């Protein structure tokens, strides 16, 4: 697989020089300073590509061209914003970037309650605690109807947690849930979040899914014409938050999405961590079933906890059999290569590394420490090499 690395642009504490030292050859990035729904200008795309290539690397995947909330709700300026999205696809295609990872998560991006969960080895990981989330949703945000979305025993545990939580605990929780979002130029407070929740109003799951399919019906033909593969990222976590609809959580969702616009350019990002947090998902089976339409892979692992909480595990630990997932993806590459396809190589990146060694306490983007991801990439490379070389 094409070994890539997510880079958040010139301000990323993990530099392009660090990426080369880690052993990756491809970069996964976006124009974060322009990621507000506008069309990406050709010259800005070319400038970013030049920065990457000057460091001896290749811009392999765009992650992400943001899908504006107006597009998701089909309100406001959604028509102009879809046209802008098409223009951005054409701009990155012109620069030779042929894979675009994106998501269709309402309001939120990937969400965790704890960005510094202490692991037994002394490093830190990302974690989602369903009790803490319930405490925020029901008792702090006081979202109307929130009680109906949480079981009674969880609400009781949330009340108990609040009695022991410090002011810093509460500030940390709110910051992690609504104020801090990766690779986004804006943040929410309680008032602005509630206003956005009102915009979604009565838009239920099937209505939201229909909006996604309408969007795909417009952008996939453009991507196909431009030679770009679109790879949707699953919802993270793969269950509803704040009463918002979620439509990319399971194998059933993936089947429906691929069938809705049944073209090769309409594909998936196989994020083993996001899909892996859903107990209904068999990641090895999904890697095999959807192999022809997997255009990108985020390889990370999670450990699911009994109440629905989960935390990021070591890349080769956790609940997903990463070795068998990698084996399935390499088998798909071999199949594509045998057909003489130029796009036989699937880009992958190590995702959400732990903060370890001297990354602890250092300024990094949460989940995107340098050393933790280097360790993850090394472990994944150790899985891939014998499969590729010896044909296991």
Q: Which residues are catalytic?
A: 233, 271, 298, 351-352, 368
Residue (of 31, 13, 32, 25) closest to 53 by Cα position: 25
How many helices and strands, by DSSP H and E, does the chain display?
14, 12
Q: State in Å, rounded, how far the first CA of the chain is from the last one.
A: 15
Q: What is each CA distance from 263 to 223, 253, 349, in whole angstroms? A: 10, 16, 25
The bridge status of strand 124-128 relative to strand 229-232 is unpaired
* Residue 101 backbone phi and psi in degrees, to 5: -95, 135
193 in Cβ contact with 107 (< 8 Å): yes
DSSP category for residue 292: G
Sheet holding 114-118, edge to edge: 114-118, 124-128, 310-313, 301-304
DSSP string, 146-202: GGGGS-HHHHHHHHHHHHH--HHHHHHHHIIIII--TT-S----HHHHHHHHHHHTT
Dist CA 320 CA 275 (whole Å): 10
The structure tokens listed for 128 are 């989602």
Which distant-in-sequence residues (6+ apart) come within 8 Å of 234 by Cβ?
Answer: 103, 248, 249, 253, 254, 268, 269, 271, 274, 275
């Amino acid at each position: 697989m094409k070994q890539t690395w997510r880079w958040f642009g010139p301000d990323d504490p993990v530099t392009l020089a660090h990426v080369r030292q880690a052993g990756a050859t491809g970069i996964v990035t976006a124009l974060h300073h322009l990621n507000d729904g506008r069309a990406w200008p050709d010259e800005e795309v070319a400038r970013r590509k030049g920065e990457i290539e000057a460091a001896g690397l290749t811009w392999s995947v765009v992650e992400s061209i943001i899908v504006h909330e107006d597009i998701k709700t089909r309100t406001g300026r959604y028509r102009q914003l879809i046209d802008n999205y098409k223009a951005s696809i054409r701009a990155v295609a012109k620069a030779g970037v042929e894979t675009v990872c994106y998501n269709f998560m309402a309001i939120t991006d990937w969400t965790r309650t704890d960005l510094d969960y202490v692991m037994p080895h002394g490093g830190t990981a990302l974690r989602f605690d369903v009790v803490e989330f319930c405490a925020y949703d029901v008792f702090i945000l006081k979202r109307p109807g929130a009680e109906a979305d949480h079981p009674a025993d969880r609400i009781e545990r949330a009340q108990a947690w609040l009695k022991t939580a410090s002011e810093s605990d509460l500030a940390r929780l709110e910051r992690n849930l609504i104020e801090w979002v990766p690779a986004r130029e804006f943040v929410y407070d309680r008032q602005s979040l509630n206003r956005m929740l009102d915009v979604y109003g009565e838009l239920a799951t099937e209505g939201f899914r229909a909006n996604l399919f309408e969007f795909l019906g417009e952008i996939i033909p453009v991507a196909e014409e431009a030679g770009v593969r679109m790879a949707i990222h699953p919802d993270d976590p793969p269950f509803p938050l704040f009463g918002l609809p979620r439509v990319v959580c399971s194998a059933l969702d993936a089947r429906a999405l691929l069938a809705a616009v049944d073209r090769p350019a309409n594909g998936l990002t196989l994020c083993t961590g996001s899909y892996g947090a859903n107990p209904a998902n068999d990641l090895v089976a999904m890697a095999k079933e959807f192999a022809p339409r997997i255009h990108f892979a985020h390889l990370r692992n999670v450990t699911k906890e009994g109440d629905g909480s989960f935390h990021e595990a070591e890349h080769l630990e956790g609940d997903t059999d990463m070795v068998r997932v990698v084996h399935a993806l390499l088998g798909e590459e071999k199949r594509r290569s045998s057909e003489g396809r130029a796009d036989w190589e699937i880009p992958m990146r190590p995702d959400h590394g732990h903060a370890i060694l001297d990354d602890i306490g250092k300024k990094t983007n949460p989940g995107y420490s340098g050393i933790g991801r280097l360790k993850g990439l090394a472990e994944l490379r150790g899985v891939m090499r014998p499969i590729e070389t010896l044909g296991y």
